[in-house]
Chains A and B, each alone.
Chain A
Amino acid sequence: MAWPLGGHAGGTVIPPEFDYLRPHSVSDAVTELGRVGEDAKVLAGGQSLLPLLRLRLAYPTALVDLAGVGELRGVRQDGDQLVIGAMTTHHEVLRDPLILRYAPVLAQATATVADPAVRHRGTLGGALAHADPAGDLPAVALALDAAFVIEGPDGRRTVPATEFFSDYLETAIGPGELLVEIRVPALGPEWGTAYEKFNRVAQAWAIVGVAALVRREGDTIAEARIGLTNMGPTPLRASAAEAALAGVSLHNGGIAAAAGLAAEDTEPSADLSAQPDYRQHLARVLTGRALRAAAAAAS
């Protein structure tokens, strides 16, 4: 048989040829995407896309680089929501006063993403649109009940987090569309949050990660939201554990019992880092730890 050998076998780490487009507004970007068609890829930091290109695992005809679209950067408050531009870098998220005050879990998780060089280039919107289940931010967005604002030729639409992550590396963003904003609810001081990431070296992807948001009323947990990283093809909510936590006291075994439910209904993958049973075990252990840390952070 004849093998159509690509550069991957050669391993030259040089991407195939592509056109490079650098629009300066969202509407221009949408126009460019429409013009190039399905073979266009959006470059939003490139920390995942460029390796794919270099390994010749992707052959886009054009890259539409959003780095020049200023309106996609920055964080603002809109009523009881924070609105985060899709091209806001991880580095900016880490230092943004609004995020640190109202959505600290986003910063807590972002701090664990790769290394400073990657965090200066990589963007929140890029990470969410890439939807790698091992990425830290999708599970956080899910736990935050974020809303995703998507713009396309037909205008803007908003998709809730529960509908955004549709499958492995797939989202509700359609052909010709762009993720432009991420809207997250501003959490008050009664909420405590934590992100527990388990990986083998500091720069690595999560084997399992757990984002926990806890709203306290005195010594009980009034409400908890738990997002799971890398426990399936998409980020997941630990719904059974969340349900078990409502009204639980901080001082008996309630958190431990609820954490024991964290891996319910998950089907994590087997890979070099972990087998499924170990991932499920880690999800339970990390959920307990994240919940305790989150509860301690709430006032």
Chain B
Amino acid sequence: MTEQLDAGFVAEQIAEHPEQLDAPTAERSIGQPLRRKEDRRLITGRTRWTDNITLPGLLHMAILRSPIAHARINSVDVRPALERPGVIAAFSAADLGEELGVLPCAWPVTPDMVHPDHHPLATDEVRHVGEAVAVVVARDRYAAADALEAIEIDYEPLPAVTDMEEALKDEVLVHSDKGTNKSFLWPFDSGDYDAARAEAEAGGGVVLRRRYIQQRLVPAAMEPRAVVVEPLTEGDEYTVYTSTQIPHVLRLMLALTVGMPEHRLRVVAPDVGGGFGSKLDVYAEEVISLIVARKLGRPVKWTESRSENFQATIHGRDQIQDIEIAATRDGKILGLSVDLKADMGAYLQLVTPGVPVLGAFMYNSIYKMDALRFRCTGVFTTKTPTDAYRGAGRPEATYAIERIMTELAHELDIEPMELRRKNWIRHEEFPYTTIAGLTYDSGNYEAATARALELFGYDELRAEQQARRDRDDPVQLGIGISTFTEMCGLAPSRVLGSLSYGAGGWEAATIRMLPTGKVEVVTGTTPHGQGHVTSWSQIASDALGVPFDDINVIHGDTRSSPQGMDTYGSRSLVVGGVAVHLAAQKVVEKARRVAAHLLEAAEGDVEFHAGTFSVKGSPDARTTIQDVALATFAAHNLPDGMEPTINADAVLDPENFSYPHGTHLCAVEVDTETGRPTIRKYVAVDDVGTVINPLIVEGQVHGGLAQGIAQALYEEAVHDADGNLVTGTMVDYLIPAAPDLPDFITDRTETPATSNPLGVKGVGEAGTIASTPAVVGAVVDAIRHLGVTDIRMPCTPERVWRAIHSGGDGGVPAASGTIAWGGPQTATTAGGAA
């Protein structure tokens, strides 16, 4: 220090506690596998889960839900519940009337989209099992649960419709007043697919068509949803604690839905135990809790049970994909056509229609082609609404293209990886504008693939596969390939606008330099397991030269982090993390001005490195950013006219999406006697650009792989013909756990994104997007020589066994009820001279 600062009281305090002033760190924090700051409390549960929140006078709400998929409600009588002990109030939709409003859908994908009213409590009809019909508020949750049984409802059952193709016949209407079950048709064309197809046919090429089924999935976050609404005694103001991914979006939506002025609403996402997209929503229970707390003037809590989570939290996927690819005989892709049917469920939730539409731009994936045709039909059924689920549109697209690429390779007798290599964007071609109109800024598919092949031992496994076939081994081996990319970092606001999304894609950050040199990073992202507190600390640590442990990250409260677009779509790091970096740069620039003043140097001569300002040519003239923070706080000696703060805000609207990519290879052994598929080896080489924290990236990849493998082999939400969810518990809905998964072999290539200064791309969804086609592809590959070209997901042992024994050309016996057991069900149309 070249100048003694007189900062009065604070300086004295700090002088007495010198340990508060750590030396700036010289070591780069980005790239270090630092342990997550938040893990101890999250793992032990000694933290702010919403259900852990208790308030004086807290009341407990329980919800009566429809046990029928579709019925007219002739009457609801909640009065008997009021006579039960401990009950304070009970309400049906009629009791709450206009106050209830309708739940929002923020993504009207077409101007004429059929968008039925979605009331938080059912009014005239129920349209899916689990739809909320009435609520009881009681002194404790046991009394509330017991009193539900007293409510009398007169239902008049109506026919259910659970199958999309059946629904499109409009014989059974989910919303009779709409006259149709079709919500929208969203078309997208780039290039001339008909011409591409004609070229393939005329030139002796191939046109291949497949139907793939994306089964319905239950997101099943570890922490079910929970809401606590606290009315403030001072007036008509409310704090809504809720297990959500989107406190900022939710505040706006609650204000619009309930008609509550936005400035009287505070929304807090305390620690949130997972979401996978299922908490990217505005839910009936959030609205009802707010209305009830307002009506009663007392705090109200609702905590979702696992059973409710299965029925009333959104589901994922549920699409029928008819995909057609046209290629030349030597394997050049000419065009791709996708006819997609997407099950909306009974209502449109916050971004339900946008999920399949988002996939439109990913079907072409990493491949060059002349034409892309996409049609998406949104369909209503009497099932729980679908919405964003890890990957949201992109896993579906990746699945279809990666599966059909392998099918095309076999049709053309080209090695599957060779066919991909022939068609992918070469590393020297970036930036590359795809047929879908996206400009991929960077990537190196050759490098990721080369590394994956090496780690996998591809040639050796192919040789073993052949040997097992030759000796007719009861255990056959298959290899699946996924050379995937994804669009992350949602999103440039103008692009979202062009897709009719209701909001932008920017993200906000604030850096507060505290007088002691410690730092508060305020972020608009809302972590629910991703470790933002750790990663953002690393980013700020490097940018400010402040020790990692001196940084705290504040998030998830519209009062303390007032501006944000929240967390979904692998956007947090790419938009929110970069915003932290940009805010830190602004802090440094402000601090540089103060430092120059203190060091009596020209601002242009003051250099900043690792937390220290120094003057060019005068090595002894230095001060630290912590000293500058204190000097700024004291404000006794600042440059003339300078505001006494070096705090800074940044709001980043990204210029482009980011495009993580990678090559995943999976080897599966199929026991042909039982049909059981077992993953023998899984190699994931991901390119997520610059890595902030390798431990966190590794964790995201592992979890993502588990979820993608779950879709491939285990999970399926099954409804019977009456619309009952028959996989409504974890006994029937099989979520794999550690013993069911292989050891993963992971590695990375690092091709930085050029669209942001950190070079980051996002990693939250990569594993899920990549793994499903790799696994199913491997299962099919193991028994392809027996005539099998597809197994419907999940590839249960029974489905695999039936596929083997039906020779792979259909003939799967119909199961009882309406449960389709799958098996090969696609037809090949080989065009031209094929």
Name the residue on A nearest B142 (C-beta). Answer: A14
Q: Which of A1-28 contact B (CB under 8 A)?
A: 1-14, 16-17
Interface string of B108-125 (1 = CB under 8 A from A): 000000000000000000
Check if B798 sits within 8 Å of A275, measured CB to CB. Answer: yes
Check if B67 sits within 8 Å of A3, measured CB to CB. Answer: yes
Inside 8 A of B68's CB, which chain A residues have their CB?
3
C-alpha gap A203/B734 in the complex (Å): 9
A281 at the interface (CB under 8 A from B): yes
- Which among A37-45, A72-80, A194-202 touches the partner chain? A194-202
Inside 8 A of A14's CB, which chain B residues have their CB?
141-142, 145-146, 305
Q: How far is the CB of A224 from chain B (nearest CB, A)?
A: 21
* Partner among A12, A17, A198 whose Cβ is within 8 Å of the Cβ of B141: A12
C-alpha gap A260/B243 in the complex (Å): 54
B63 at the interface (CB under 8 A from A): yes
Check if A5 sits within 8 Å of B307, measured CB to CB. Answer: no
C-alpha gap A281/B671 in the complex (Å): 13
B416 at the interface (CB under 8 A from A): no
Inside 8 A of A12's CB, which chain B residues have their CB?
62-63, 141, 144-145, 148, 305, 307-308
Check if B64 sits within 8 Å of A5, measured CB to CB. Answer: yes
Inside 8 A of A8's CB, which chain B residues have their CB?
67
Q: How far is the CB of A49 from chain B (nearest CB, A)?
A: 14
C-alpha gap A273/B734 in the complex (Å): 10
Inside 8 A of B67's CB, which chain A residues have their CB?
3, 5, 8-9
C-alpha gap A191/B99 in the complex (Å): 73
Q: Which of B740-765 contact A (CB under 8 A)?
A: 740
Check if B65 sits within 8 Å of A10, measured CB to CB. Answer: yes
Q: How large is the interface on A (under 10, 10 to 19, 20 to 34, 35 or more residues)?
A: 35 or more
Q: How far is the CB of B515 from chain A (nearest CB, A)?
A: 49
* Partner among A202, A273, A285 whose Cβ is within 8 Å of the Cβ of B740: A202
* Partner among A1, A10, A205 whose Cβ is within 8 Å of the Cβ of B145: A10
Inside 8 A of B312's CB, which chain A residues have their CB?
11
Name the residue on A nearest B66 (C-beta). Answer: A9
Interface string of B464-505 (1 = CB under 8 A from A): 000000000000000000000000000000000000000000
B448 at the interface (CB under 8 A from A): no
Inside 8 A of B736's CB, which chain A residues have their CB?
201
C-alpha gap A4/B155 in the complex (Å): 11
* Partner among A1, A11, A202, A285 whose Cβ is within 8 Å of the Cβ of B739: A202
Q: How far is the CB of A117 from chain B (nearest CB, A)?
A: 12
Check if B64 sits within 8 Å of A9, measured CB to CB. Answer: yes
Check if A17 sits within 8 Å of B154, measured CB to CB. Answer: no
Known contacts A200-B734, A202-B737, A204-B731; A285 and B65 CB within 8 A of each other: no
B43 at the interface (CB under 8 A from A): no
C-alpha gap A288/B739 in the complex (Å): 25
Inside 8 A of B815's CB, which chain A residues have their CB?
270, 275
* Partner among A3, A11, A205, A275 whose Cβ is within 8 Å of the Cβ of B153: A3
Interface string of B780-820 (1 = CB under 8 A from A): 00000000000000001110011000000000010110010
Q: How far is the CB of A137 from chain B (nearest CB, A)?
A: 17
Check if A13 sits within 8 Å of B305, measured CB to CB. Answer: yes
Check if B797 sits within 8 Å of A2, measured CB to CB. Answer: no
* Partner among A13, A202, A205, A274 whose Cβ is within 8 Å of the Cβ of B731: A205
Check if B154 sits within 8 Å of A274, measured CB to CB. Answer: no
Q: How large is the interface on B (under 10, 10 to 19, 20 to 34, 35 or more residues)?
A: 35 or more
Inside 8 A of A203's CB, which chain B residues have their CB?
737
Inside 8 A of B674's CB, which chain A residues have their CB?
198, 282, 285-286
Check if A11 sits within 8 Å of B305, measured CB to CB. Answer: yes
Inside 8 A of B731's CB, which chain A residues have their CB?
204-205
Interface centre among A12, A204, A281 (most CB of B within 10 A): A12
* Partner among B64, B734, B821 whose Cβ is within 8 Å of the Cβ of A204: B734
Check if B305 sits within 8 Å of A270, measured CB to CB. Answer: no
B726 at the interface (CB under 8 A from A): yes
Check if A201 sits within 8 Å of B727, measured CB to CB. Answer: no
Q: How far is the CB of B223 from chain A (nearest CB, A)?
A: 15
Interface string of B717-742 (1 = CB under 8 A from A): 01000000011010110111101100
Check if B740 sits within 8 Å of A11, measured CB to CB. Answer: no
Inside 8 A of A205's CB, which chain B residues have their CB?
731
A124 at the interface (CB under 8 A from B): no
C-alpha gap A285/B146 in the complex (Å): 48
C-alpha gap A256/B522 in the complex (Å): 68
B130 at the interface (CB under 8 A from A): yes
Q: How far is the CB of B673 from chain A (nearest CB, A)?
A: 5
Inside 8 A of A277's CB, which chain B residues have their CB?
813
Check if A10 sits within 8 Å of B64, measured CB to CB. Answer: yes
Check if B148 sits within 8 Å of A7, measured CB to CB. Answer: yes
Check if B149 sits within 8 Å of A5, measured CB to CB. Answer: yes
C-alpha gap A205/B734 in the complex (Å): 11
Name the residue on A nearest B799 (C-beta). Answer: A278
Q: How far is the CB of A203 from chain B (nearest CB, A)?
A: 6
A55 at the interface (CB under 8 A from B): yes
B510 at the interface (CB under 8 A from A): no
Inside 8 A of B798's CB, which chain A residues have their CB?
273-275, 278
Interface string of B66-92 (1 = CB under 8 A from A): 111000000000000000000000000
Inside 8 A of A5's CB, which chain B residues have their CB?
64, 67, 148-149, 151, 153
Inside 8 A of B148's CB, which chain A residues have their CB?
5, 7, 9-10, 12
Inside 8 A of B816's CB, which chain A residues have their CB?
270, 275
Inside 8 A of B432's CB, which chain A residues have their CB?
none
Q: Which of B140-175 contact A (CB under 8 A)?
A: 141-142, 144-146, 148-149, 151-156
C-alpha gap A202/B740 in the complex (Å): 6
Check if A10 sits within 8 Å of B62, measured CB to CB. Answer: yes
Q: How far is the CB of A61 from chain B (nearest CB, A)?
A: 14
Check if B734 sits within 8 Å of A201, measured CB to CB. Answer: yes
Interface centre among A10, A51, A275 (most CB of B within 10 A): A10
Q: Which of B290-324 contact A (CB under 8 A)?
A: 305-308, 311-312
Inside 8 A of A274's CB, which chain B residues have their CB?
798
B458 at the interface (CB under 8 A from A): no
Check if B64 sits within 8 Å of A285, measured CB to CB. Answer: no
Q: Can you name 21 A-B pairs with beta carbons within 8 Å?
A: A1-B156, A2-B153, A2-B154, A3-B153, A4-B149, A5-B67, A5-B151, A10-B65, A11-B307, A11-B311, A12-B144, A12-B305, A13-B305, A17-B142, A55-B729, A200-B797, A201-B740, A270-B816, A273-B796, A274-B798, A275-B816
**A residues lining the B interface (CB < 8 Å):** 1-14, 16-17, 51, 55, 115, 198, 200-205, 270, 272-275, 277-278, 281-282, 285-286
Of all A-B residue pairs in the complex, the 6 with the closest CB atoms, nearest first, are: A11-B307, A13-B305, A9-B67, A202-B739, A14-B145, A12-B145
**B residues lining the A interface (CB < 8 Å):** 62-68, 130, 141-142, 144-146, 148-149, 151-156, 305-308, 311-312, 673-674, 676, 714, 718, 726-727, 729, 731-732, 734-737, 739-740, 796-798, 801-802, 813, 815-816, 819, 821
A3-B155, A14-B305, A282-B674 given; 14 more Cβ-contact pairs under 8 Å: A1-B155, A3-B68, A5-B149, A5-B151, A9-B65, A10-B62, A10-B148, A10-B149, A10-B308, A12-B144, A200-B796, A201-B734, A275-B816, A278-B801
